[in-house]
Amino acid sequence: MARDLIGCLLVVDHPDGRAALRLVETEAYRGALDPGSHGYRGPRPRNQSMFGPPGRLYVYLSYGVHFCANVVCGPEGVSEAVLLRAGEPVAGVDAIRARRGIESDRLLASGPGRLTQALGITREHDGASLLRGGSMWCARDELTQRFQETGISQTKRIGLGAGRGDELPWRFVVAGHPFASRTR
């Protein structure tokens, strides 16, 4: 699923206009099977939405500072999710730039915290549905298939400590894409 989301559009209708990113970097987190997942040790107040039905957002506060957004993928009770790590702005760039408060194009949504800030996603969007009828959704367009075929690299996930599944190749990124996050 994390791979399938590469090249998809993430669209958010915000009061100040619609913005969209083309996803270029994601990571898979596999719940109870994955010591790197927030769902590994079962439901908690913070991660409730991970255990809910699929097609919703799980948004959490990272390091007490930045929000990170996941798409919940597993059936109810199974906390599988895909962390959205980076995207290229394709619509609403002015609104995105205003929210980010920077000039550089490349840094607008290249990193999980930057991506949520770019789209105006906060903890209030935790549990929000990406299915029909909501104010945010995922979509494919004519370019999505190209991105899927252009070359998707698979690497270790970023920022995990040793023994937390840090060797697993569950990060997906469009090879060499300038809007991907830095690999540190």
Partner DNA sequence: CAGAAGATCTGC
Partner DNA sequence: CAGATCTTCTGC
Answer for which of 9, 112, 130, 177 binds DNA (CB under 7 A) is 112
Measure the CA–CA gap between 137 and 129, rounded to whole angstroms: 8
- Using an 8 Å Cβ cutoff, are 139 and 65 in contact? no
**Closest separation between CB of residue 100 and DNA, Å?**
7
Cβ neighbours around 50 below 10 Å, total: 26
Closest to 155 measured CA to CA, from 170, 166, 175:
170
User: Does the protein bind DNA through residue 158 (CB under 7 A)?
Assistant: yes
**Closest separation between CB of residue 96 and DNA, Å?**
12
- Using an 8 Å Cβ cutoff, are 140 and 147 in contact? no
User: Does the protein bind DNA through residue 63 (CB under 7 A)?
Assistant: yes
> Quick one: which segment of 10-18, 40-48, 135-143, 167-175 binds DNA (CB under 7 A)?
40-48
Answer for which of 65, 103, 142, 149 binds DNA (CB under 7 A) is 65
Measure the CA–CA gap between 115 and 122, rounded to whole angstroms: 11
User: Does the protein bind DNA through residue 161 (CB under 7 A)?
Assistant: yes
Q: How do strand 171-174 and strand 57-62 relate by DSSP bridges? A: unpaired
**Closest separation between CB of residue 64 and DNA, Å?**
3
Binding site for DNA (CB under 7 A): 27, 29, 36-39, 41, 44-47, 50, 58, 60-66, 68, 70, 81, 83, 100, 102, 107, 111-115, 157-161, 164, 181
